[in-house]
Amino acid sequence: MKFSILIAIVSEELEDKAIDTARKSGAGGVTILHGSGIGFKEKKTFFGLTLEGRQSVLLFVLERKTALQVLKKLNSELELEKEDHGIAFTLPIEHLAGINRDEFLNFQEKIKEDI
């Protein structure tokens, strides 16, 4: 079985919607990191103070086919092609340790259903 990591970087305001969308599309657990970033455009300022938005970095370890399904759903539901809505991408995982046995069995069942 091949796995991918799905990384979605969205504004904190979209965090809950992104997690709900991912779960409804087949994702299980998620690791959430918080941070800030610098975009293509200059930040807005107000009386000399820079207004920065906070981002959530969502990390999902998924079976590759499920990762693609979740990615597509996140793209459509969060309208990621619009400016400042976020970004999502996948990377292949070569080696994996520590995955929950129940989650692994769940991945196997999904593959059997697809066959």
| pLDDT one digit per residue (tens) for the chain, 115 residues | 789 999 999 999 999 999 999 999 989 889 999 988 766 666 666 666 655 678 999 999 998 999 999 999 999 999 998 877 899 999 999 988 887 777 767 767 776 776 6
* 83 within some domain: yes
**What pLDDT is stored for residue 43 in this prediction?**
61
Q: Please state the domain count of the chain.
A: 1
What was the pLDDT predicted at 49? 61
Residue 10's domain comprises: 3-37+51-114
Task: Write the CATH number for 97.
Answer: 3.30.70.120
Question: 101 lies in a domain?
Answer: yes
Buried-exposed string 58-87: b where 16+ CB fall within 10 A, e elsewhere: bebbbbbebbebbbebbbebbebeeeeebe
Q: Say what the pLDDT of residue 99 is.
A: 74
Check: CB of residue 36 under 8 Å from CB of residue 100. Answer: no
